[in-house]
């Protein structure tokens, strides 16, 4: 009987922690790659959950503004760990959003499950949005942290 109570308590605690972490997701600080007046201005980066738990889904949400419509392009993504590039990826911008993207505010969100073998620590991401002519519309960098999963939630 005690084991069942402990198991139920752990699941409830895990659920509470997950709900609390999703409600209190914070905007991450970011910076531009260069001192350039980019056509696309980023206003925020949000990572849920923060910190990221390896082998569990994570969502990166970028809020931005464009002065001109975007008809196509790509995200060029580079992830570094302790200064060493550990992942490169190119994603079609129009797969993340319906193109054309009208001038004004827009949000790009991407969810994925990070590998279970990803070592805990702080990672640096560089994301460059390039148009169909391969010109940089914006380039930002931000950090995120990967932690081990909670033992309470793994029961």
Segment 63-89 mean pLDDT: 95
Domain-located, residue 20: no
- Whether 128 has a pLDDT exceeding 90, the answer reads yes
User: Which H helix or E strand runs over 94?
Assistant: helix 93-96
**How much is the pLDDT for 6?**
39
Instruction: Give the confidence band of 136 by pLDDT, cuts at 50, 70, 90.
Output: very high
Which domain does 104 fall in, by range?
A: 26-146
Whether the Cβ atoms of residue 14 and residue 150 lie closer than 8 Å to each other: yes
Q: Does residue 151 lie in a domain region?
A: no
Query: Quick one: average pLDDT of 62-86?
Result: 95
Tokens for 52, please give them.
């990221």
Give a yes or no: residue 122 inside a domain: yes
Q: What is the predicted pLDDT for the residue at 151?
A: 39
Mean pLDDT of 15-35: 59
Element (H, E) at 90: strand 84-92
Nearest to 129 by CA among 58, 68, 61, 38: 38
Assess if residue 40 is contained within a domain.
Answer: yes
Confidence of residue 70 (pLDDT cuts 50, 70, 90): very high
Q: Please list, in sequence order, all residues whose beta carbon lies within 8 angstroms of the beta carbon of residue 16, skipping any fewer than 6 positions away.
A: none
| Residue 1: inside a domain | no
Give a yes or no: residue 21 inside a domain: no
pLDDT at 62: 95
> What is the reported pTM?
0.76
Contact 39, 98 (CB under 8 A): no
Q: What is the pLDDT of residue 16?
A: 34
Q: Cβ distance 107 to 61 under 8 Å?
A: yes
What pLDDT score does 150 carry? 55
Rounded mean pLDDT, 142-151:
81
Length in residues, the chain: 155
Please, are residues 23 and 133 in contact by the beta-carbon 8 Å criterion?
no
Domain count, the chain: 1
Average pLDDT over residues 47-68: 94
Is 16 a domain residue? no
CATH number of the domain bearing residue 77 = 2.60.40.770
Q: Is the pLDDT of residue 22 over 70?
A: no
Among 14-28, 87-101, 127-141, the least confident range: 14-28
């Amino acid at each position: 009987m005690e084991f069942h109570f402990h198991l139920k308590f752990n699941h409830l605690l895990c659920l509470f922690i997950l709900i609390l972490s999703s409600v209190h997701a914070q905007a991450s600080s970011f910076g531009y790659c260069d001192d350039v007046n980019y056509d696309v201005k980023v206003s925020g980066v949000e990572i849920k959950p923060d910190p990221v738990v390896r082998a569990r889904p994570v969502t990166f949400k970028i809020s931005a503004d464009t002065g001109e419509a975007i008809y196509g392009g790509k995200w060029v993504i580079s992830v570094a760990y302790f200064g060493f590039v550990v992942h490169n990826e190119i994603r079609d911008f129009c797969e993340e959003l319906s193109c054309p993207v009208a001038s004004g505010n827009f949000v790009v969100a991407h969810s994925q499950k990070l590998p279970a073998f990803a070592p805990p620590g702080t990672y640096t991401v560089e994301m460059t949005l390039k148009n169909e002519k391969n010109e940089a519309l914006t380039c930002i960098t931000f950090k995120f942290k990967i932690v081990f999963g909670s033992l309470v939630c793994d029961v």
